[in-house]
Chain A
Amino acid sequence: MINRFEVDETNEMIEKENLDVRTITMGISLLDCISDDPDKLNENIYNKIVKKAKNLVPVGREIEKEFGIPIVNKRISVTPISLIGGPACKTTDDFVRIAKTLDRAARDVSVNFIGGYSAVVSKGITPAEELLIRSIPKALSATGLVCSSVNVGSTKTGIDMDAVRLMGRVIKETAELTKESDSLGCAKLVVFCNAPDDNPFMAGAFHGVTEGDCVINVGVSGPGVVKTAVSKVRGENFEVLCETIKKTAFKVTRVGQLVAKEASERLNTPFGIVDLSLAPTPAIGDSVADILCEMGLEYAGAPGTTAALALLNDQVKKGGVMASSYVGGLSGAFIPVSEDQGMVNAVMAKALTIEKLEAMTCVCSVGLDMIAVPGDTEETTIAGIIADEMAIGMVNQKTTAVRLIPVIGKGEGENVEFGGLLGHAPIMPVNRYSCSDFVNRKGRIPAPIHSFKN
């Protein structure tokens, strides 16, 4: 039978170390909503989302109450809209109308975000996909809860550099259209390489075409719990350090698995995956950077950071995999800047640069995330940064992503406040040397040699 020490340990994790389930995300296929009549299409989309997700938030709250574990977000991901809108959408405004429908449906079922205003263009772009991508700035400025992502490359296909170049422009346009709120629209836009079909985390969640009609995916968190555990083994050798992280990750993930199973049963929806991620929040003590510091670094970004992060990421997976029957999504430590107070501190101390963050993305999920850059950063420079990050994903057969926020009207060293879970960030300097002749070349970068496995 459970004893008091075990109960106390769990409850301390929840109360003092910010243990929570970061998100229950319901993936909904919209493939059966397709119509060539825009009115019918929007009606179908709204009806399907509301029908499937109407109990998501109440059930989430019920589980929170019964188990005493906070579930921070309840979210929805849908089939990439570029695949759904094709027959009905002839202009970018037709796509924006779908974004508004998604936003309305999300509000009516009270979820925090809805993801899937997306296109998967790893090898080439269809006319519908291009229309959707060009509509992103307007869609994100006209809605509040809609998140957008574009997958521009993969290990199997290489990198679609036409899409990379286009995304450089789309990010700048999104920043311009939302400049009144410190270019917040860009916080809802991710560019991916090797995007997974079952990611429950925003802003990059979409319900891939490999998925069934409706599915429950859960994202766990718990940097504070890992940090506390690591603080108890200061000065111990690497074996002890690794075992400690692994055991803690196991415990955290078991909670996610339980919540996923309960949510799936109560919503009568199949359980998809648990995403084993260490997702920080701006709350004090809920930081991945703080774990790195606890492991022995003065700041995240100091020499040794990449090794420490590689170790952390690997142990989280090793502990988590056994705790869940199905693991998927992004599964790794997240290293956003604005959402992690320890990362913000490291940037302020000039310990952490974009180049170091890029190195760190080689060994963890996901990529250059929530990084504020000067508003006058050229769109070709943004495209160059995207291309670099996509190359890391392509060659290392992993998911990488870019979520940069060029803050219009602000420059290096100024601070930008996004609010809530998105946090705040100092604007980081960007390498000013040009890459325009490179990114302006047309076509795609071929798939790497090690992708030919057949």
Chain B
Amino acid sequence: MKRIIITVVGKDTVGIIAKVCTYLANNRINILDISQTIVKGYFNMMMIVDMTESGKPFSDMSDELFQIGEEIGVVIRCQREEIFDSMHRV
């Protein structure tokens, strides 16, 4: 399984989740977990996704999601799950 952590942070607006999810669906990237909150008008979301079925290289996905984020005024960042696993799991 190729698990990626996607974090989205920025000013809240309509359709952030919709935009991100549409992109993921179009690229056959499966969502495993979503956690989202709004603090003082700031949107903060973390998704765990699996891109095993997606033919897209990581680098392209990362760049395209970053671009979508720019369009809607949020920062979207993709990181492979291993960095968090290695830091927080023994």
Whether the pair B35, A4 counts as a contact (CB closer than 8 A) is yes
Query: Bound complex: CA of A11 vs CA of B87, how far in Å?
Result: 11
Query: Which of A3, A4, A8, A10 contacts B83 (CB under 8 A)?
Result: A10
A4: B residues at CB distance < 8 A: 35, 44, 46
Q: Would you call B85 an interface residue if the criterion is a C-beta within 8 Å of the partner chain's C-beta atoms?
A: yes
Distance to closest chain B CB from A78 (angstroms):
30
Within 8 Å CB of B48, what residues of A? 1-2
Residues A56-79 near B (CB distance < 8 A): 62, 65-69
Given contacts A1-B48, A4-B35, contact A68 B87 (CB under 8 A): no
Q: Is A354 an interface residue (CB 8 A)?
A: no
Closest Cβ–Cβ distance, residue B63 to chain A (whole Å): 9
Q: Which residues of A contact B58 (CB under 8 A)?
A: 65-66
In the complex the two chains form, is B86's CB within 8 Å of A7's CB? Answer: no
Task: Tally chain A residues at the interface, Cβ within 8 Å.
Answer: 21
B79 cross-chain contacts in A, Cβ below 8 A: 66-68
Q: B71 contacts which chain A residues (CB < 8 A)?
A: none
Q: Are A254 and B59 in contact (CB under 8 A)?
A: no
List which A1-55 residues lie within 8 A (CB) of chain B: 1-4, 6-11
Contacts A2-B84, A257-B86 given; does A7 touch B33 at CB 8 Å = no
Chain A proximity of B54: nearest CB distance (Å): 15
Do residues A67 and B88 form an inter-chain contact, with CB atoms below 8 A? Answer: no
- Closest residue of chain A to B58 (Cβ to Cβ) is A66
Instruction: Say yes or no: A2-B86 contact (C-beta < 8 A), given A7-B5, A7-B46, A65-B62.
Output: no
Chain A residues closer than 8 Å to B62, beta-carbon distance: 65-66
Q: Do B59 and A7 have beta carbons less than 8 Å apart?
A: no
Assembly CA distance A261 to B78 (angstroms): 20
Residue of B nearest to A13 (CB): B87
With both chains docked as a complex, state the minimum distance between the C-beta of A284 and any C-beta of chain B, in angstroms.
Answer: 22
CB neighbours (8 Å) of B35 from chain A are: 3-4
A258 and B81 in contact, given A2-B48, A3-B35, A7-B46 (Cβ under 8 angstroms): no
A255 within 8 A of B: yes
Q: Roughly how many angstroms separate A3 CA and B82 CA in the complex, as a whole number? A: 13
- Closest-CB distance, A4 to chain B (whole angstroms): 5
Given contacts A11-B7, A65-B59, contact A6 B83 (CB under 8 A): no
CA distance A1 to B82 in the complex (A): 11
B7: chain A residues at CB < 8 Å are 7, 11
Whether B87 contacts A255 by the Cβ 8 Å rule is yes
CB B49 to nearest CB in A, in angstroms, measures: 12
Report chain B residues within 8 Å CB of A6: 84, 87-88
- Across the interface, A258 reaches (CB within 8 A) one of B5, B32, B77, B83, namely B83
Interface size class of B (residues with CB under 8 A): 20 to 34
Given contacts A2-B48, A11-B7, contact A258 B84 (CB under 8 A): no
- Option from B78, B80, B86 in Cβ contact (under 8 Å) with A254: B86
Interface assignment of A251: CB less than 8 Å from any CB of chain B:
yes
Task: Give B1 Cβ to nearest chain A Cβ, in Å.
Answer: 12
Residue pair B77, A68 in contact (C-beta under 8 Å): yes
Residues of B within 8 A of A67 (CB): 79-80, 82-83
Query: Out of B44, B59, B78, B88, which one reaches A2, CB within 8 Å?
Result: B88
**B 4-52 contacts with A by CB, 8 A:** 5, 7, 32-33, 35, 44, 46, 48
Please report the C-alpha to C-alpha distance between residue A257 and residue B84 in the assembled complex, in whole angstroms: 13
Contacts of B46 in A (CB 8 A): 4, 7-8
A66 to B44, alpha carbons, bound, how many Å? 21
* Most chain B beta carbons < 10 A, residue from A1, A4, A254: A4
Closest to A67 in B: B83
Chain A residues numbered 336-352 whose CB sits less than 8 Å from any CB in chain B = none
Instruction: State the CA gap A68–B78 with chains docked (Å).
Output: 7
What's the Cα separation between A62 and B35 when bound, in Å? 27
Known: A251-B87, A254-B86. A2 touches B5 (CB 8 A): yes
Contacting pair B84 A10 (CB below 8 A): yes
| Distance, CA A65 to CA B82, complexed state (A) | 13
Shortest Cβ gap from B34 to chain A (Å): 10
The residues in B between 56 and 90 inclusive whose CB is less than 8 angstroms from any CB of A are 58-59, 62, 77-88
Task: Pick the most buried of A3, A8, A68, A255: most chain B CB atoms within 10 A of its CB.
Answer: A68
Contact check, A1 vs B83: say whether CB atoms are below 8 A apart.
no
How far does the Cβ of B80 sit from chain A's closest Cβ, in whole Å? 5
| Residues of A bordering B, CB below 8 Å | 1-4, 6-11, 62, 65-69, 251, 254-255, 257-258
Given A10-B84, A66-B58, list of 5 further CB < 8 A pairs?
Answer: A1-B33, A2-B88, A3-B35, A65-B58, A67-B80
Nearest first, the 8 closest Cβ-Cβ pairs linking A and B are A68-B79, A67-B83, A254-B86, A258-B86, A6-B88, A2-B84, A4-B46, A4-B35
A-B contacts, 27 of them at CB < 8 A, read A1-B48, A2-B5, A2-B81, A4-B35, A6-B84, A7-B7, A9-B88, A10-B83, A10-B84, A10-B87, A10-B88, A11-B77, A66-B58, A66-B62, A66-B79, A66-B80, A67-B79, A67-B80, A67-B82, A67-B83, A68-B83, A254-B87, A255-B86, A255-B87, A257-B86, A258-B83, A258-B86
